[in-house]
């Protein structure tokens, strides 16, 4: 009779402890295999301003939204909405926060722009500014009518997507949002990628009165800062500047003739000219009262000055969104028009001269 084969012991040494295998390094080609901790905050990717769209089929194009850049963190413990400068504004966008909770139980970081739409469905920064109450006694208001147009997904269900190329991140974003009802009518909507020649798209955007277009390189990862992976082409330039003074007006004693503006050059502020249009009378009067409470008390003005005695200098605290056509040869804004105030606590958007 043949003896049955002897079975091998499960452990060669029953006294030896069971040890787990060492954890393998992440395979960049398969980011879904291991879990990543959710970042506390991600410094946003910024679009590089271009006079003309770059050529080639490597770019995905969409409308440039005129509002506030936000990162929506959907976490196990709740929802956080962070501004570009890192401020927690969850309480100021309650409808967006509610819509984000409805996307759960998934964990995500959604990159997008909060806007308020006018009667024709176009983003209007002035409406957003008035909704938030970006100045005076109404500061801290809630923008209950704001909509977030989502254009990127940085984190999804335990996976950090920043190293993944944009075309895949976009696919994950579309899948995450389109699986929910009301994805194009609720408070969080997909910023549509438009399959069109960018020069033709720019003409249509201009005709609709929109700000411009944004292009994103399909094969690039998500990199913080102004790397050139994202570009923007504007119909009309619009940037944020510090108000550093105002010129007196004989015609409007309670208002002003124009506002003196400044931008960053390195760590310093420099004069970039003034703006004297775009104000309603009541708005100018209110703004003058705010500026008078910020009067500059030091001997040297906040920016190098030509010595105009009619300028009343103020602390560089208020941030104005300014629309303009071009720059002069000496670095001043041309054909500037006032659009509204940005939040004084979030100065990350103030224009920097390169």
Which of left, alpha, beta for 175 (phi over 0: left; psi -120 to 50: alpha)?
alpha
* Chain center to CA of 82: 10
Cβ 293 vs Cβ 317: under 8 Å: no
For residue 204, CA distances in Å to 197, 231, 298 come to 11, 18, 49
Own/partner pairs for 252-258, CB < 8 Å, 24+ apart? 252/281, 252/284, 254/285, 254/288, 255/279, 255/281, 255/284, 255/285, 255/287, 255/288, 256/284, 256/287, 256/288, 256/291, 257/310
What is the CB neighbour count within 10 angstroms for residue 285? 15
Nearest to 51 by CA among 325, 244, 309: 325
Q: Answer yes or no: are the C-beta atoms of 120 and 134 closer than 8 Å.
A: no
Q: Name 152's bridge partners.
A: 111
Q: Which residue carries 């509204």 as its tokens?
A: 340
339 is catalytic: no
The span from the CA of 38 to the CA of 77, in Å, is 12
Q: Contact, 173 vs 213, CB < 8 A?
A: no
- Tokens standing for residue 285: 């009067």
Strand boundaries in 99-180, DSSP class E: 108-115, 147-156, 159-160
Q: Which of 3, 8, 25, 64 is catalytic?
A: 64
Distances (CA, A) of 248 to 297, 308, 333: 17, 11, 20
312 within 8 A of 291, measured Cβ to Cβ: yes
Structure tokens at 110: 């959604």
Residue 203 to residues 44, 173, 191, 233, Cα–Cα distance (Å) = 28, 28, 19, 11
> Which residue has tokens 């308020």?
116
| Active site members | 64
């Amino acid at each position: 009779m043949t003896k049955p084969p002897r079975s091998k012991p499960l452990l060669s040494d029953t006294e030896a402890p069971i040890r787990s295998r060492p954890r393998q390094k992440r395979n960049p080609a398969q980011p879904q295999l291991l879990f990543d901790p959710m970042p506390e905050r991600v410094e946003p990717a910024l679009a590089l301003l271009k006079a003309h769209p770059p050529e080639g089929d490597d770019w995905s194009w969409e409308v440039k939204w005129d509002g506030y850049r936000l990162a929506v963190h959907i976490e196990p413990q709740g929802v956080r909405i962070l501004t570009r400068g890192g401020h927690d504004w969850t309480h100021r966008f309650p409808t967006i926060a509610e819509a984000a909770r409805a996307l759960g139980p998934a964990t995500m970081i959604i990159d997008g722009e909060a806007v308020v739409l006018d009667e024709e469905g176009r983003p209007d920064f002035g409406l957003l500014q008035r909704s938030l109450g970006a100045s005076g006694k109404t500061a801290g208001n809630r923008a209950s009518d704001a909509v977030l147009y989502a254009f990127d997904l940085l984190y999804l269900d335990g996976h950090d997507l920043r190293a993944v190329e944009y075309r895949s991140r976009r696919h994950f974003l579309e899948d995450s949002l389109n699986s929910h009802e009301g994805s194009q009518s609720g408070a969080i909507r997909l910023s549509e990628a438009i399959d069109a020649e960018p020069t033709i798209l720019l003409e249509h955007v201009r005709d609709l009165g929109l700000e411009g277009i944004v292009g994103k390189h399909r094969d690039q990862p998500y990199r913080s800062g102004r790397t050139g992976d994202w570009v923007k082409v504007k119909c009309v330039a619009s940037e944020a500047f510090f108000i550093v003074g105002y010129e007196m007006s004989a015609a409007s004693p309670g208002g002003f003739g124009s506002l003196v503006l400044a931008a960053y050059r390195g760590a310093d502020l420099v004069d970039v000219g003034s703006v004297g249009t775009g104000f309603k009378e009541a708005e100018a009067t209110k703004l003058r009262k705010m500026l008078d409470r910020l009067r500059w008390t030091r001997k040297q003005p906040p920016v190098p000055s030509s010595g105009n005695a009619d300028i009343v200098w103020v602390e560089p605290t208020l941030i104005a969104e300014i629309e303009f056509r071009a720059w002069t040869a000496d670095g001043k804004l041309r054909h500037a028009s006032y659009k509204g105030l940005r939040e004084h606590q979030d100065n990350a958007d103030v224009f920097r001269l390169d």
